[in-house]
Structure 1
Amino acid sequence: MTLALLFPGQGAQNAGFLHRLPQHDAVRATLDEASAALGFDVLTLDSDDALRSTIAVQIGLVVAGVAVARALAHEGLAPQFSAGLSVGAYAAAVSCEALAFGDALRMVRKRAELMENAWPSGYGLTAVAGLSETQVETLADAHAREGGERVYVANVNAPRQIVVAGADGALEAFAARALAAGARKAQRLAVAVPSHCELLDDAADALTEWARDIPFRTPRSVYVDNRGGRPLYTADAVRADLATNMRYTVRWYDALTVMIESGASVLVEAPPGQVLTDIAREHYSEVSALAGSSLPLERLVAIVRRRLGQDG
């Protein structure tokens, strides 16, 4: 029985999520370390006003993920697998010790600034439920052929849970087209940039250059990437994944599948989300998937220990 930690991406945030983190020494130390590294109090990042900023959201998600991972490790629950959706990959890299926390925060801040500056307004993401990736791509091609502005497949979160990126008007028109083609739902996400598509090519190139001197290490446990949904074993491979994942489709379902096929049997999703937990429960009922945001830390630790077959 092995443990995997899952770290959610942008869209999982909600007001006050950093203030709702567990009262634990490791959490408090992580918040203090983040504030010192960034030069401001990170607990200012989760207000409704602050969360309008891509920068605040992305930094806050990484802080929350690392804080809970450290609290679990302090309780003897270190993961064998770490994976994060989009910006969650930075917390995953810290979790497997491929990247120092302070460096992850600085890199995420630069990433978010580049993304926000590339497309400061008028763009985002829409989640489409009930259609396959092939069906969504076919609809996107038809939309473009008929004169609509291009939308792009940004995330494949599950076989019929696809996220598309593009301009506001294009997303609205595409949502109507998807619903007419049989989608159960087409819902705009709380993301204000066109993530995981070629619109961020230049931003990814800039982050790659900026991150050239950031020290990375060989992961001490298994790091599973976004782009290919596969384990990465070298420092340079993790660096390249983090620097460029903003412009490639997130293959979350592939990442989830490879962890489970490699032996992950207990999955814990870091706060603030439950989307990754729900995906795992729906498609892999044989594993135990738990959302850290839905349980007090003491109860989460007890359940994970029991399901891993540990004493206590």
Structure 2
Amino acid sequence: MTVAFLFPGQGAQSEGLLDQLPQHAEITRTLTEATEVLGLDLSALDDAQSQHSTVAVQLGLLVAGVATARALMAEHVLPGAVAGMSVGAFGAAVACGTLSFADALRIVRLRGELMQAAFPGGYGLAAIVGLDEVRVESLVERIRTAQCPLYVSNINAPLQIVVAGSDAALSAVATLATQHGAHRVDRLAVGVPSHCPLLQPVGERLVQAMAGLPLKPPAMPYISNRGGRALREAEAIREDLATNVAHPVRWYDTLEVLRELGATLLLEMAPGRVSTQLVAQSLPGVRAVSIADRGLRYAAVVAARENRFDFRSPVP
């Protein structure tokens, strides 16, 4: 296995992310299918106002990720493994053939609705750069109270840790982290406290909703961003998709697993850029390419030059 597909999570979105997708027959097909399944004009996921909606953002990221992956696979650039950050896990599950795109759209819409209803405002995420997980966890424990909830939610890199909580808690940890040597603290474009115990009720609802969905065994390893391990059975992927919303994303561990499996070229689906940057900083010897920045043709050429074609039939 040499090529892996990465699917971005919430925070990667921008206005016009679907309109900016490359021209390709598979992208057109994916947009049409999404329109039919969702019963709405996809411009509702793509304008400035939609960027403040958890539902619209998560659906937009799913559509963009699957569209990009299908276009690459149609050009015979096929992954040996897939991984998705947060909601990107659903795109990864579609790409490996476990979950149908139509079912992914319905579940992600429900996921976004549940998250948005639970936390319509006053909560979010912040990235702390320059402190390790142990140090950030100690700061979080100093701040967290029932009235001021705060949790570690993402380990993106050894020195890039994301925390989730109330606005007051995020403000407090930003001040404290800076005092303890953080290079910077960035509030992310996410309006809910993702990947922490606050979303346990949402995870329970998703377990119920996904219980009856038909799944297929993955055509290649799906790397869990909750446990940082390769999953090869459909039921394990079902559990991961349903429950990861309430557990920290161990993205650095996910990238390390891909390297251990033999991935040397990671292609990040549109509109993602963050993972490409993280790989450049943290995984020497592994190359990452952002499709949003370099385009489909460039990715295909890179794969061809490194003799990374796999002529299996694309996953629908």
TM-score per shorter chain, which class? over 0.9
Residue in structure 2 matched with residue 200 of structure 1 by the alignment: 199
Q: Which residue of 2 aligns with 1:209?
A: 208
**2:257 equivalent to 1:274:** no
1:85 aligns with 2:114: no
1:141 aligns to 2:145 (yes or no): no
State the Cα distance separating 1:148 from its structure 2 match: 7.2
Identity of aligned residues (%): 48
**What secondary structure sits across from 2:155 in the alignment?**
strand
Match of 2:184 in 1: 185
Residue 39 of structure 2 is aligned to residue 39 of structure 1? yes
**Cα deviation, residue 150, structure 1:** 2.8
After superposition, give the CA deviation of every residue in 1:50-80 in whole Å (9 maximum; x if it has no partner).
Answer: 1110000000000000001000000001101
3-state SS in 2 of match to 1:190: coil
Distance 2:135 2:117 in 1: 32
3-state DSSP of counterpart to 1:136: helix
Residues 10, 87 of structure 1: 8 Å contact kept: yes
TM-score, normalised to structure 1's length? Answer: 0.97
**SS of the residue 1:271 aligns to:** coil
* Structure 2 residue 28 is matched with structure 1 residue 28: yes
Separation in 2, partners of 1:148, 1:120: 17
The residue type paired with residue 3 of structure 1 is V
What CA deviation, in whole Å up to 9, does each residue of 1:132-183 have, x standing for no partner? 11000001112237x9723100000011100000001110111111011100
Q: Which residue matches 2:98?
A: 98
Matched with 2:17 is 17
Which amino acid in the other structure matches residue 194 of structure 1?
A: P
Alignment-derived partner of residue 130 in structure 2: 130
Shift of 1:4: 0.3
The structure 1 segments of at least 4 consecutive aligned residues displaced by more than 2 Å after TM superposition are: 307-311
CA shift at 1:43, angstroms? Answer: 3.2
What is the alpha-carbon distance in structure 2 between the residues aligned to residue 241 and residue 64 of structure 1? Answer: 21
Query: Residue 295 of structure 1 corresponds to which residue in structure 2?
Result: 294
Cα-to-partner distance string for 1:203-231 (whole Å, 9 max, x where unaligned): 11011111111111111111001111101
SS across alignment from 1:296: helix
Which secondary structure does the structure 1 equivalent of 2:280 belong to? helix
Aligned-partner Cα distance in 2 for 1:142–1:111: 31
Report the alpha carbon displacement of residue 300 of structure 1 after superposing the two structures with TM.
2.2
State the distance in 2 between where 1:134 and 1:265 align.
29
Q: Match of 1:230?
A: 229
| RMSD (Å), alpha carbons | 1.4
The answer (yes or no) to whether the contact 1:227–1:245 under 8 Å persists in 2 is yes
Structure 1 unaligned blocks of 5 or more: none
For 1:191, the aligned partner's letter is: V
Structure 2 CA distance, aligned partners of 1:38 and 1:51?
18
Match of 1:107 in 2: 107
Paired residues for 1:162-181 under 5 Å: 162-181=161-180
The one-letter code sitting in structure 2 at the alignment partner of 1:233 is R
SS in 1 for 2:214: coil
Aligned counterpart, 2:153: 154
* Contact 1:2-1:308 within 8 A present in 2 as well: no
Alignment-derived partner of residue 305 in structure 1: 304
Q: Return the alpha-carbon distance in structure 1 between the equivalents of residues 32 and 120 of structure 2.
A: 30
Partner Cα separation in structure 2 for residue 308 and residue 185 of structure 1: 40
2:314 is aligned to none
**Cα contact 1:266–1:308 (8 A) shared by 2:** no
Structure 2: runs of 5 or more not aligned: 311-316
Q: Deviations over 1:94-127 (max 9, x none)?
A: 0000100000010000111111111111000000
Q: SS where residue 213 of structure 1 aligns?
A: coil
In 1: Cα distance, 2:92 partner to 2:104 partner:
10
Comparing 297-306 and 206-215, the one that deviates more: 297-306
Q: Supply the distance in 1 between the matched residues of 2:309 and 2:210 (Cα, whole angstroms).
A: 40
Counterpart Cα distance in 2 of 1:305 and 1:60: 29
Paired positions, count: 310
Are positions 1:62 and 2:62 aligned together?
yes
CA contact (8 A) 1:148 1:170 kept: no
Q: 1:289 aligns to what SS in structure 2?
A: strand
